[in-house]
Every structure is written in C-alpha cells, then in structure tokens.
Amino acid sequence: MKITVFGSGYVGLVTAACLADVGHEVLCMDVDKARIARLRDGEVPIHEPGLEPMIRANLEARRLAFTRDLDAAVSFGLLQFIAVGTPSGPDGGADLSQVLAVAQGIGERMTDYKVVINKSTVPVGSADRVAATIGAALEARGEAIDFDVCSNPEFLKEGAAIEDFTHAARIVVGTDSPRVEALMRECYAPYIRLQEKLIFMGVRDAELTKYAANAMLATKISFINEIASLAERLGADVEQVRRGIGSDPRIGYHFIYPGCGYGGSCFPKDVKALIHTAEGVDYPARLLQAVEAVNHRQKQTLCAKLSQALGGDLAGKTIALWGLAFKPNTDDMREAPSRTLMEALWAAGARVRAYDPVAMPECRRLYGERDDLALVADRGQAVAGADALVICTEWKEFRTLDRDWLKARLRLPVVIDGRNLYDPGSMHAAGLLYHAVGRGV
C-alpha cells in the first residue's frame, strides 16, 4: 500500500519505519528542513533502540522516503497518517493546531479518495474537526472528493517502540466505515500476529480509549506513590506492599513501581488534557485531578528529602545526579523528575554534577552552559567529592553498586534514590545514609 505519514517525531518515525519494513511504500513528511535532511542520510534524531538500522535498511530498499513537499505527500498515500505533535496548551488542553494544519493541507490538495488517520493523541471529537477542516477546504475549491477520517491511536512506549509496534497488545481503530475497516486490515495484514489484535469501534470510543489507557496507567503510578508516602510515615516497606498487592491478578505487578513521579511526553500531557476535556463537559474529573496533584508532589520529594538529609541548607552544595532521562533507554527529558530536582537545587544555590548514559546532550540543549551544571563522563566522576547523590533514572548500569566505592567518593554518605534500586539493609550496613521511596526514612 502507499502510505503517507505526516510528522517525523517519535510516533511518525516509528510508524513510517515499521510499515515500510513489512513492504508498504511509505513517504514521511515534515516541515523541518534540517530534520528531513538528516533523515534522508539515515541519521535518526531520536534515541530509540533498533530504529536507526530499520530506517537505513528501508531507505536503501527504497520503501521509505522523507520529504518536505506537502504536494508530494498528499498525492502519495491512499492512507494519510497524521502523527504530528499535540502539545499542551496554556490551559492544559491539547493544542490541535499542527493536526488541523495538516488536515487543511490535505483538503487543499487531494484529488482522489483518501483515508486520513489520526495517530497523534487527540481529544475526543478531533476526528470530526479534522473532517470538517478537510471538508471546508474541499468546498472552498468547489470539489466534492470522497474521504474518511478514522482514529488509530498509538500505544508505544519510548525505548521499546519497535517491539510495541510489531507485537502490539492491541490495535484500536475508530471508524464506522466498512471501507476504512477493510483498508486498515490490509495496512496491518503483513503483521500476521496483529490481525487478531485489531479492535474496531466508534471514532469517539477510540479517541477516549487512548486517554483512558494513559490515565489508568498514571493512576496506578500515583496510587503506589501515595502508598509509598504513607509507608514512609507508618514504618512500612512499600516494596513488600507492592509484592503483596501485585500477586492479586486483578491488580497485577505492572505499573505499580513507586518512584519520583511519572514524566515523559505522554502521561503528564494526557492526564491534563483529559481533565481539561472533562471541564469542557462540566464534569470535574476529581480522580484525575488527584492523580496529577500526587504526581506533582512526588516530583518534589527528591529535593525535600535531600534538603532534610543535609540539614536544610543546600546553598553551595554540590549534588551528584545519576540519570536525567524521564526513564531508561531514552534521551527524552520532557517532564522528567530530574528537571524538577535540578531547578529546585539551582533555586536553592546548589550545583549539579550529572551523568546520564544518553541524555546529556539533551540536557545541554535544554539548559545550555551554566556554572552550576557539570555534565560528566561517568557515574564515578559525578560522585567524586559531591555532598550527596540523587538517583533519578533506573538505567541498567546503575543497578550494580560497590557500596564501599561509593562511600569513599562522596563527601557526605547521603544517597537519595528515586527509583528504589538498592537494598536498604546493605546500603546502611556500608555506612550510607540511604533514603529510597516508601522504604522508611
């Protein structure tokens, strides 16, 4: 099939690469000149395991191409995937301007039947807005060309995106058109395993499914973080509680790991957007508001625990940071707990000495050169002579730890672990003042 993908961000690139990889002809369009130039050379601007070789192989096989040319993009695909950004607006609602700009571009140029597919996370009712935009643009041209708009939300996790695409738990398609259903089956047909994972439903059902999935996962995280805060105050160990509740299959072990708050480009944005959508229909979403508030509070606990452990004064202190990314296997720092911590430390007059296996260039891009931020080559350099260590991301390479090695390097033996990587008993036995999440302070 001929497929156009609008947007060469995370979702757009993974979708384009994976669909080309099973034999479709894919043209991926973006307005960003530099990005398209790099992609044409097989240089992938995001860190995602397996994506770069897949893009290179499909560029070579000429099944995948990149363009900035909107005319070419619209005329190319029978299927037109919209995978552009939907950032949070100032009121927490999703900003649809990029999605509607693509819809406008399609409506102004299309000459034959198209299926326009919303892959970006867009609020309930967006497919109707995309259809109205395309319809109005066609009308302005005096054309009456047939088209359909459907919703096919993405459930990829950063760091595991290729695996999530090729072995999806489900593919949700929102449409009431049998023609679209047949075309979407054909699109995913090469993924034989995925055939039985296709779930067809109404357009609004599919749009709400995406938000409900992320809101549910965010709720599980805020729930366990709340239990962790209680455990700290009640002398209980949340890791034992997690094992105890996870063993109930109705609860399950997934997504109940306590931590320093959820970050990334999805949960924070999508929970806020759903709260905003609820307000729009006069329904205050109390549970979602609480999920968001608990997460906000959780991100601040690292600095609060650190300040308490260092006697309340952070001014002039040097704090070592292990992990900057919002989670392992990505360089993404959007809404990362490390940022809340660093910004609080700088406001208090402390210096940060940080190490992350891949996110340091991103950190430099976000914060630039500054005297109170050093990015160092390994975790040993981060802790050498530092007043305390804080762990923000559970990178695999942090999982092993020579306790005596660490103690010998830190000026004060304070370790604040936002990811519960180590056994508190052995940390204390080594003389480290170890503060994890929900494991007794």
165 binds ligand UGA (CB under 6 A): no
CA distance 164 to 308: 41
211 binds ligand UGA (CB under 6 A): no
Q: How far is the CB of 129 from ligand UGA (least distance, A)?
A: 20
CA distance 363 to 244: 38
Q: How far is the CB of 146 from ligand UGA (least distance, A)?
A: 31
Query: Which residue among 123, 259, 323, 418 contacts ligand UGA (CB under 6 A)?
Result: 259
| Residues from 68 through 87 that contact ligand UGA (CB under 6 A) | none
16 binds ligand UGA (CB under 6 A): no
| Binding window for ligand UGA (CB under 6 A); candidates: 77-85, 109-117, 151-159, 228-236 | 151-159
The residue among 96 and 266 lying less far from ligand UGA, judged by its C-beta, is 266
CA distance 415 to 387: 10
Query: Which residue among 21, 148, 154, 356 contacts ligand UGA (CB under 6 A)?
Result: 154
The residue among 21 and 394 lying less far from ligand UGA, judged by its C-beta, is 394
Q: Which helix (H) or strand (E) holds 217?
A: helix 203-234
For the chain, what percentages of helix, strand and coil (3-state, to nearest 5) are there? Answer: 45, 15, 40
| Residues from 100 through 129 that contact ligand UGA (CB under 6 A) | 121
Among the options 266, 303, 363, 392, which is catalytic? 266
Residue 52, Ramachandran bin (φ over 0: left; ψ between -120 and 50: alpha; else beta) = alpha
Query: Which residue among 9, 12, 263, 418 contacts ligand UGA (CB under 6 A)?
Result: 263
CA distance 79 to 138: 18
Task: Say if residues 5 and 66 touch (Cβ distance below 8 Å).
Answer: no
Q: How far is the CB of 268 from ligand UGA (least distance, A)?
A: 9
- Helix, strand, or coil (residue 65): strand
Query: Which residue among 157, 185, 297, 411 contacts ligand UGA (CB under 6 A)?
Result: 157
Q: How far is CA 334 from CA 80, 161, 265, 267, 340, in A?
A: 28, 17, 6, 11, 11
Q: How far is the CB of 46 from ligand UGA (least distance, A)?
A: 12
Query: Which residue among 262, 355, 395, 422 contacts ligand UGA (CB under 6 A)?
Result: 262
Query: Which residue among 103, 256, 273, 363 contacts ligand UGA (CB under 6 A)?
Result: 256
266 binds ligand UGA (CB under 6 A): yes
| Binding window for ligand UGA (CB under 6 A); candidates: 61-69, 201-209, 257-265, 377-385 | 257-265
| Binding window for ligand UGA (CB under 6 A); candidates: 82-90, 106-114, 231-239, 249-257 | 249-257
Q: 187 an active-site residue? A: no
Q: How far is the CB of 119 from ligand UGA (least distance, A)?
A: 10
| Residues from 362 through 381 that contact ligand UGA (CB under 6 A) | none
Q: How far is the CB of 256 from ligand UGA (least distance, A)?
A: 6
Q: What is the DSSP string of 105-126?
A: HHHHH--S-EEEEE-S---TTH
Binding-residue total with ligand UGA (CB under 6 A):
20
Nearest to 376 by CA among 404, 353, 345, 392: 353
Instruction: Report the sign of the C-alpha dihedral through residues 132, 137, 138, 140, in that order.
Output: positive
Q: How far is the CB of 31 from ligand UGA (least distance, A)?
A: 21
Q: How far is the CB of 302 from ligand UGA (least distance, A)?
A: 13
The residue among 86 and 133 lying less far from ligand UGA, judged by its C-beta, is 86
59 binds ligand UGA (CB under 6 A): no
Of the CA atoms within 13 Å of residue 2, those in its CB half-sphere come to: 9
CA distance 418 to 86: 29
Helices (H) and strands (E) in the chain, counts: 18, 14
214 binds ligand UGA (CB under 6 A): yes
Nearest to 327 by CA among 388, 257, 376: 257
Long-range interactions of 47-52: CB distance < 8 A, separation 24+: 47/329, 47/330, 47/331, 47/332, 47/358, 48/10, 48/13, 48/14, 48/158, 48/159, 48/161, 48/162, 48/330, 49/159, 49/160, 49/162, 49/329, 50/162, 50/163, 51/13, 51/14, 51/17, 51/161, 51/162
272 binds ligand UGA (CB under 6 A): no
- Which positions touch ligand UGA (CB under 6 A)? 121, 154-158, 214, 217, 221, 255-257, 259, 262-264, 266-267, 326-327
Catalytic residues, by residue number, are 266
